[in-house]
Copies of this chain bind each other. A is one copy, B any other.
Amino acid sequence: MTFDLRPIGLVESTLRDLQDAPPQGDEGAPEAWLVIEPRVADGLEGLAVGDRVVVLTWLDRGNRTVLRTHPRGDLTRPEQGVFATRSPDRPNPIGLHEVTVLSIDGLRIRVDHLEALDGTPVVDLKPVLGGVDER
C-alpha cells in the first residue's frame, strides 16, 4: 500500500547546498519564498501576514533506506533510530518547518528562516495550533 504525494509548490531559496544548511531553521536559515501552484490557489484564502505556519516539505535529497543515523550528523554521538531524530534521511522524508509569514504576493509567500534547499517540493501548509481558547 502506498500513497501518491503531489507537491503543491516549491521552495525558492538562496540555500543551494546541503553543506550550507543549518541543522534546524532557527539556527541561521535564511528567509525564503514558497511558490504555490495555481491549481491549489483557493487553498490559500485566509492565510495572512504574521501567521505562524507549519510548512511540510518533501526532502527529496534524503536517503530513504537509512534507519539509523548520528544525530545532527555528529559522528562523535552514538547512532540512533531515525524516528528519534530529525534527520532528512528516513523512510518518508517529510520536513516540518515552523515559520512566520512575512509577506504574500499572489501565489508567492515569503517566510522567515526556512531550512530547506532551493527547489525543495512543498506538500502542505497548516496553521500552528495555539491553545484551545484561540480556536
Contacts and interface: CB of A to CB of B under 8 A. Distances in A.
Contacts of A90: 43, 124
Specify the main secondary structure of chain A where it touches its partner: mixed
List 8 A-B pairs, minimum CB-CB distance, nearest first. Answer: A45-B81, A46-B84, A46-B80, A42-B67, A83-B125, A43-B81, A3-B5, A43-B67
Contact of A127 (B67, B68, B86): B86
Interface of A: 1-8, 23-24, 26-27, 40-47, 51, 54, 56, 58, 60, 67-68, 72, 79-86, 90-92, 94, 96, 121, 123-127, 129, 132, 135
Contacts of A58: 3
A60 to B, nearest CB: 8
